[in-house]
Structure 1
Amino acid sequence: MAEGGAGGNQPPREHPHSLQGLLQMAVTAGGNAEPAPVEPMSDERRQWLQEAMAEAFQGQMDEVEQMKECLQLLEASSPGVEHGESSEEAHSDLERREAALDLLAELCENLDNAADFCKLDGMRLLAHRYLEHEEEGLRWRAAHLVGTCAQNVPIVQEQALALGCMRKLLRLLDHDPSEAVRIKALFAISCLVRAQEAGLQQFLRLDGFSVLMRAMQSKVEKLKIKSAFLLQNLLIDHPEQKETLCSMGMVQQLVSLIGSEHSTFHEHVLGALCSLVTDFPQGVQECQEPELALEELLKERCHLLKDQEEFQEEQDFCETLLRLCFHNQPDENNMDR
């Protein structure tokens, strides 16, 4: 018998293939103004429906159980040689904890799992124990997990901020001896501060821009690039912070970085400087200070990069700055091409 509306005039209804489809089918059925004739459900359809529901809910339940098991392992006391455990046992325990954090990071890519992770008090465990753990491998994994959970989930961001994660992450970014820890801390900070007003306010109160400035001056290329990229995006999203940054000497700092030995990092620094001066006369005025010699620096850079397609975006930033700050048109800079 064909399935359809009254009288069989409607086309046959396809069986949904997911939990969302099941829910939509239920909503549609519940919204009918008139109850359709009750038809007995075939054994085949009943079995399919039962299996689909069981699979959908069991999969989610399995993931929650996995998170619980990981947290149980992470909450346990670490073994130590002073308690009679061998160094092999301690190393094995470290590997298990690292694997637990890796699995949690994978599971918490799912937004629902990230929220459940916080309900299970996982964020508190990260904030109070693992962000400051003596083992580098656990610190960077904890920072990565904070960022993974916080991406686009306001309730998770709020809990992480309330637990003091921003302060600890800024400290890691500024002082941790591990390159991996510093990079992951910056990732987590970005997840807490972008599109999150409370996160931005904490970042500002804790002098986050100064920490970001110092990160751009580090010797770690990846950290420098990601710091400049975050600065550029914060300036685009929060132009009201331009005055604060100018008062900190950010223009002078960025120009100094541009004047260092050329690298791919300069593209992001120039992008941040463009964002800082766009529609902001004070920034333009500071770029025009004679002691910075920025105009000559930008012209030299345009000459250096001419006809090199891989540096086209960097050259575009140079030409934009010349136009905004020194009223030079692109054709003036490219006459010798």
Structure 2
Amino acid sequence: MARASSYILVLMVVAMAVRAERNSNNTGRVYWSSAEDEAQAQTRTQPRDDDTEVADLDADGGFSSLEGMLQWAIGHSDPVQLKEKARDVERLSPADLNDRRLEIKQLMDELKTPSDAQLMQIAIDDLSNSSLSLEDRHRALEELLVLVEPIDNANDLDKLGGIAAVIGELNHGDADTRKLAAWVLGTASQNNPVVQKQVLEHGALPKLVKMVKSSFVEEATKALFAVSALIRNNVAGQELFYVEDGHLVLQDIMSEASIDIRLRRKAVFLLGDLAECQLENTDKDELPFFSNRVFLKSVVDLTSSADLDLQEKALVALKNLLQLRTTEALVFKNFCGLDGALERLRQRLQGLMVQEDHRDYAVDVESIRSEVQQIFNRKLEKVATRLVVFGVIC
């Protein structure tokens, strides 16, 4: 009985405070605040009798605990009324307590967390505020980053004006803001053809491709993540990627050993993914850069990297590239030196297999290397067969 009475008292105190709050504003409701609302609220701090400040509704919405709710309610209630309510609650019977629960339930429902769409709209509106502080701009993008992970939320982003707003942040003077904006676009587009199409139609890809060349590594990696998410299994996106010379950006990243290893891994992984997509869409013309010998050599050269993860991703890309119609076995052999590269890698992996820390990983990479070797040999055999047939005919 005591615990139930205490709970009802908390609810009644909160109800009193909410009603008082409603009477003091024109909206007639408790609402979630934007960054601008929070900034204005901070300039309207009112002193209390005990020289302490009582927190308003949590800036992120809702309350972290029942205690937090009670603290807020007490700060918004009349002390005399609180004492009267406490005495009233003590005299309530179990039936009366239950009636009070039902009576207050409707009011408490109005304090529920707003929908994801409402939270997204608040963040989007904040981004549209040109006077927003950099900290609040980052906060809005970080909130969107979490909110767009579910596919249903991502599909609502454009309806709320979010895609245009986030793309606008790609032009911001602050590198961290650009990084976050690219991250949001990539997260929303990942495995989502609907959002891919929307972001491409808004014209984000050219800007993202340029951002991949940023000297700020975090910006470059998040931009490449967004590019990958946009064009994965998306033929139209891949064609635009080629038009924007995205393949040359990948080639530069793969060829330059001084570039951050994370970016190089992402670049060769994207290439392998593009080649795989091409293999699955045999009715489409293969993108021209797949058969460019300088481009192919930049991939083969990665097999000599000291980074095993990068080696593995390069091998996966080569496995897919070797199976394309337009790639030539003799280019891989004579210009790229693939046979020698594969042999050197085999010897290195054998040495790693005797080291306990690297054995399992080396075995896995050797399995892929062996598969690449077999595909390469078959491609060479087909060339030899054609030459024999051609020689007999001639």
TM-score normalised over the length of structure 1: 0.70
Q: Evaluate the alpha carbon distance shift between residue 312 and residue 159 of structure 1 in structure 2; reply closer, same or farther with a 3 A threshold.
A: same
Unaligned runs of 5+ in 2: 1-100, 280-284, 354-358, 380-394
**Structure with the greater alpha carbon radius of gyration:** 2
Superposed counterparts of 1:1-337, under 5 Å: 61-78=114-131, 93-127=133-167, 129-174=168-213, 176-218=214-256, 219-239=259-279, 240-241=285-286, 244-247=289-292, 249-261=294-306, 263-278=308-323, 280=325, 282-289=327-334, 292-306=336-350, 307=353, 308-326=359-377
Distance 2:206 2:226 in 1: 12
1:183 deviates by: 0.9
Whether the 8 Å CA contact 1:144–1:185 is kept in 2: the answer is: yes
Deviations 1:39-74 (A, max 9, x none): xxxxxxxx99xx9xx98xx76x53222112212221
Q: State the 1:279 CA deviation.
A: 5.5
Distance in 1 (alpha carbons) for counterparts of 2:325 and 2:375:
10
- CA contact 1:242–1:276 (8 Å) conserved in 2: no
Q: Using the alignment, how far apart are the partners of 1:262 and 1:156 within structure 2?
A: 34
Partner Cα distance (1:198, 1:95) in 2: 36
CA 1:230–1:293 in 2, change beyond 3 Å: closer, same or farther? closer
Q: CA deviation at 1:313?
A: 2.9
Distance 1:241 1:279 in 2: 8
SS of equivalent to 2:311: helix
Structure 2 Cα separation of the partners of residues 151 and 277 of structure 1 = 27
What is the rounded CA distance, in whole Å, between the counterparts of 2:347 and 2:339 in structure 1? 13
Aligned length: 263
Report deviation, 1:248: 5.5
Counterpart residue type for residue 186 of structure 2: G
RMSD across aligned C-alpha pairs, in angstroms? Answer: 3.0
Q: Deviations along 1:196-252, whole A, 9 cap, x unmatched?
A: 222122112212222222232342111111111111111011135365411353222
Question: 1:145 Cα shift?
Answer: 0.5
Instruction: List gaps (5 residues or longer) in structure 1.
Output: 1-46, 80-92, 329-337
Question: Aligned-pair distance for 1:172?
Answer: 0.2
Tell me, yes or no, if the aligned pair for 1:284 and 1:324 is still in contact at 8 Å.
no
What TM-score do the two structures reach when normalised by structure 2? 0.60
Q: C-alpha distance in 2, partners of 1:205/1:230?
A: 17
Do the aligned partners of residues 303 and 196 (structure 1) sit closer, same or farther apart at CA in structure 2, a change above 3 Å counting?
same
| Percent identical residues | 27
Q: Please say if residues 315 and 368 of structure 2, whose CA atoms lie closer than 8 Å, have aligned partners that are also in contact.
A: yes
Structure-2 change in CA distance of 1:77 and 1:232 (3 Å): same
**In 2, are the aligned partners of 1:285 and 1:325 still within 8 Å (CA)?**
no
Are the aligned partners of 1:251 and 1:287 in contact in 2 as well (CA < 8 Å)?
yes
Question: Using the alignment, how far apart are the partners of 1:254 and 1:152 within structure 2?
Answer: 26
